Amino acid sequence: MKPLVFTLRNTPEAPVDLGPLIPDLLAGMKVAQINRLKLAHGKKSVSVAQLFSVTGMDPANIQIRHGCDKLLYIGKGMSHGSIEVSGDAGDFAGQRMRGGTIRIYGNAGSWVGNSMYGGLVEIHGNVESYLGAGMPGAAHGMSNGLIYVKGNAGDRIGDRMRRGTIIIRGNVGSFCGSRMQAGTIVALNKTGEYPGWNMKRGTIVLAGQPSHMAATFMSCGELKMQFLRLLFKQLSELGNEYAFFKNYSPASHRFAGDLANNGKGEILILLQSPSKGK
């Protein structure tokens, strides 16, 4: 069965809420019915047909072509199936996602994967701030699943993260893993200031020394972490995109903290990583 393809006709004048276009809500619908669906477009609503040319038949396999940063809430709350975006995506992609796969072959905005419960989000470009974080006032951020970013990421990655895994292959901004409750963040290039700020538990793995680290993290010395050996092995087996993890060593300098918040988290700075030419 051919994928259900949404081809954007023109760049919208205002942000568009694509939350209704997920496999869970489109199952059993014909193209004519999908074309009549209403989407929030700024302060107005427009039909799908006004914004997209729709072809194909399989709502469990959705493709969005000519994506742009005005397309918000892609894959919001989805529990199964796949969504593939050719181009950029806006804010809140994968919000409260429960399962399935979102792949974005471009850049994405802020709050991607926020409060997600499961599934996989892959971004093959850059992403802005608050990746995998919780919305203001929420008790926690993502509680399960995997987020992978091939490019760079902004500030406050994994803020209040509860469980799950975030991988960033490019540079990461400041306050990575801030207020982290549990889970794992792996940052494989340069990292900004204050990673792990006020973290409660969890693990942050860094390929190099951050530009500045809080004094409330205590050095535990250089160790070979069995946890890292298992983590890199499991990640390398996820597919070709993750095979590079085979080249990483478990040797790291461990810092415990944040001591200002009970000190049960850890920052592991890799001693031998491919990005450092060793």
Residue 20 belongs to what domain range?
1-60
Residues 191, 266 share a domain = yes
- Residue type, position 245, single letter: F
Residues 156, 40 share a domain = no
Identify the CATH number of the domain in which residue 103 sits: 2.160.20.60
Residues 187, 145 share a domain = yes
Predicted TM-score (pTM) of the model is 0.94
The answer to whether position 151 is within a domain reads yes
User: What pLDDT shows up at residue 277?
Assistant: 38
The answer to whether position 67 is within a domain reads no
Q: How many domains does the chain have?
A: 2
The answer to whether position 10 is within a domain reads yes
The answer to whether position 66 is within a domain reads no
The residue among 53, 60, 81 whose CA lies nearest residue 2 is: 60
The answer to whether position 147 is within a domain reads yes
User: What pLDDT shows up at residue 272?
Assistant: 82
Walking along the chain (278 residues) 10 residues at a time, the average pLDDT comes out as 95 96 96 97 95 96 97 98 98 97 98 96 98 91 97 97 97 97 97 96 95 94 92 95 94 95 93 62
User: What pLDDT shows up at residue 25?
Assistant: 97
Residues 87, 49 share a domain = no
The answer to whether position 200 is within a domain reads yes
Residues 104, 5 share a domain = no
Question: Is 138 in contact with 119 (CB distance < 8 Å)?
Answer: no
129-153 burial, b at 16+ Cβ within 10 Å, e below that, comes to: bbbbbbeeeeebbbbbbbbbbbbbb
Residues 232, 174 share a domain = yes
User: What pLDDT shows up at residue 1?
Assistant: 83
